[in-house]
Every structure is written in structure tokens, then in C-alpha cells.
Copies of this chain bind each other. A is one copy, B any other.
Amino acid sequence: MRAIVVTQLGGPEVLQAREMPMPVPGEHDLLIEVHACAINPIDFKIRRGAFAKNRELPFILGYDLSGVVRGVGEKVEGFYEGNEVYASPSLILNGANAEFVCVDARLVALKPKSLSHTDAAALPLVTLTAWEALLKRARIEMGQTILIHAGGGGVGHVAIQIAKLNLARVITTASSHDSLSLCHKCGADVVINYREENFVERVKAETGGRGCDVVFDTVGGETFDRSLDCVAVDGHVITCVGMPSDKIPQKLFRLNATLHFEFKGAPAVYGVRLESHGEILRAAALLVDQGHLKPYVSRVLELDELAEGHRLIETEHTTGKIVVNVK
């Protein structure tokens, strides 16, 4: 089968087209014909060396897919050949930058009927991340105020929608014209252009000095540090990108606050609660088909252009998702 593989750890240039052996599904797996995949920051992190321990080169990236079931492992129940599905594959196995991929069926759900494969492929990883972060970890409640950084980003634009569906008030940050506009379209109540305005001051003003019940940091670095001044007493901070290594949130202690490290990859990497991902994607598909949740795809590439997609995600402030059509 045709695939784009990582030939060695390094920059986007290590991504090369190769003919690879057809994957064979294990007893819990589905063999999926990939129609579209999407690119996430985790792709270039792994390409540079994260999670690459004990991994044999060449390997295949791609942690979002929409496609069609072409093979069903012996112990799989509830899926059949021909099913149109979407999923976020395991970070430590071969991914979806290929014509075919095997994925544990517990991670998979039927794709939203109302979406093309191209649009459906934009959803799994960011939806799982935002859903787990806001609903399973911080357990947001209606009426709460949630600060979501980079609301025009992949995780951000889905997080805004999930928070609004749960009747929270959303404050978000962005800077490019497209991202600011996407934040508004997703329903954010307050959209801060962080290049023109100090977001800490604005958040304080918007919350009467109280701060936010939940801060969701999808950016990291200085944004994380400054966000600590935006947290209410008893508040929650979630990071899905890690935090600076030289600062410690003693402020969070005084605030009786909680810090969640949201790592979407955990179930597949450690083999725990894999079915929770299938469940979230099933629920998300329902929301999409009811018109409540919508992915935003800013750019569609062909598989041969994958390296260009990596370059964009790595160096630009992209808006929404970049999807790669495979079939």
C-alpha cells in the first residue's frame, strides 16, 4: 500500500512516500481504508523523536482518520465491512498517513453521516482532547466561565463549541483574522486578540476580578504562566501541551486549584479504557448530525503534500484543521 513514512527522526524532509506492506488486523482491530487523515502537532513531535523509543524506522504517522472498514478482527463486535468510521489511532503504532491502517475497534465509531470523510477526519483527536479535558477532567458546569486559549486552533475551536453546548460562558484568545473570526463563529462570548490586548487584564475585567472557573491551555510556555493569574479560587487549569519546566504554580496552591494534564494518547498507549474513546466519538457523531458540533477545515492537502502540512502546523498559526485526502 502507499504511505508517507518517517525515514529517520528529524524535520519535515524525513517524510517520504513508500510502498509499505498491507497491515494485518489483530483480533481486536479493524482494518480501515483511509479516505482522509488530519495533521496535529503530535505528528511533528513524534517525527522529531517523542514516543519514538523502541520504534522501528520507517514508521507511519497520522492520528486522525475517516474511512471505510475493510477487515474485522475475530473478537470485534459491532463493526462490519463497509462501515464508514472515524477514529484517532494509537500514538505508538502506525498511523493513518497511508491507504490502510489497523485500529483497535474500541477506539473507533461510525463517522457522522452528515460529514464528508474530509470533514470527519478533522474531528477525532481534537474532539477527544477537548471532550476529556472539559467534560471528564474539569467537569465544567453550566454558568461557569471558561478561558480557552487559541480558540481558533484545532483543539480550541472544538473546545469552544463543547463549552457552549454545556452552557458555559467562553472567553478565548486568538490573533489572526481567520482565527478571531472562527472563535466568533464557534460561539465564544468574549474573543481577545492577545496581540492587541493584555489577556490577563481583560479576563479580570470580564470576571469582576474573580478569574475563570476553568482555564484550558492549548498553547503552553508563557501563556501557561500568565494564565495562572486568570484562575478563580477552587478553579481548574488544564494543559494539553505540557508546561514550562522552570516555573512552578505555587499560585495554584493558594487558590486551592487543580491542574489536569490532558494526554489524549493515554488509553491506547497504556491499554486502559480504550472503549472510552469509541464512546466519546459516538456521542460526538450524534452532536454533529444534530447540527450542534462542526469541524472547521482551513486547508485540504493530498497525501504527497504531507510534509508541507507539517511545515504549516509547525511554523504558522494555522486556523482550525489541516486535512489530508488519501483516497
Residues of chain A touching chain B, judged by Cβ–Cβ distance below 8 Å, are 137, 233-234, 239, 242-246, 248-250, 252-263, 266, 270, 272-273
CB-nearest residue of chain B to A266:
B256
A292 CB to nearest chain B CB (Å) = 26
Q: Is the CB–CB distance between A248 and B250 below 8 Å?
A: no
A125 CB to nearest chain B CB (Å) = 14
Q: Is the CB–CB distance between A258 and B256 below 8 Å?
A: no
9 contacts between A and B (CB under 8 A): A137-B258, A234-B272, A244-B248, A245-B248, A246-B248, A252-B261, A253-B261, A255-B261, A256-B261
A22 CB to nearest chain B CB (Å) = 32
Q: Is the CB–CB distance between A255 and B263 below 8 Å?
A: yes
Q: A245: which B residues are within 8 A, CB to CB?
A: 248, 250
Q: A244: which B residues are within 8 A, CB to CB?
A: 248
CB-nearest residue of chain B to A139:
B139
Q: Is the CB–CB distance between B255 and A258 below 8 Å?
A: no
C-alpha gap A150/B200 in the complex (Å): 39
Known: A137-B258, A242-B250, A258-B258. 16 other contacts (CB 8 A): A233-B270, A234-B273, A239-B253, A242-B253, A243-B248, A246-B248, A253-B263, A254-B261, A254-B263, A255-B266, A256-B261, A256-B262, A256-B266, A258-B261, A259-B259, A259-B260
A228 CB to nearest chain B CB (Å) = 11
A131 CB to nearest chain B CB (Å) = 13
C-alpha gap A262/B233 in the complex (Å): 11
Q: A246, A253, A255 — which one has the most chain B CB atoms within 10 A of its CB?
A: A253
Q: Is the CB–CB distance between B137 and A266 below 8 Å?
A: no
Total identical chains: 2
C-alpha gap A32/B243 in the complex (Å): 46
A261-B266 contact, Cβ under 8 Å, with A245-B248, A248-B245: no
C-alpha gap A273/B260 in the complex (Å): 23
Q: Is the CB–CB distance between B253 and A257 below 8 Å?
A: no
CB-nearest residue of chain B to A261:
B253
Q: Is the CB–CB distance between A272 and B239 below 8 Å?
A: no
Q: Is the CB–CB distance between A263 and B272 below 8 Å?
A: no
CB-nearest residue of chain B to A51:
B254
A265 CB to nearest chain B CB (Å) = 8
A260 CB to nearest chain B CB (Å) = 5
A244 CB to nearest chain B CB (Å) = 8
A141 CB to nearest chain B CB (Å) = 14
A229 CB to nearest chain B CB (Å) = 15
C-alpha gap A244/B246 in the complex (Å): 11
C-alpha gap A254/B91 in the complex (Å): 12
Q: Is the CB–CB distance between A233 and B266 below 8 Å?
A: yes
A137 CB to nearest chain B CB (Å) = 7
C-alpha gap A272/B257 in the complex (Å): 13
Q: A233, A272, A273 — which one has the most chain B CB atoms within 10 A of its CB?
A: A233
Q: A243: which B residues are within 8 A, CB to CB?
A: 248
A234 CB to nearest chain B CB (Å) = 7
Q: A250: which B residues are within 8 A, CB to CB?
A: 242, 245
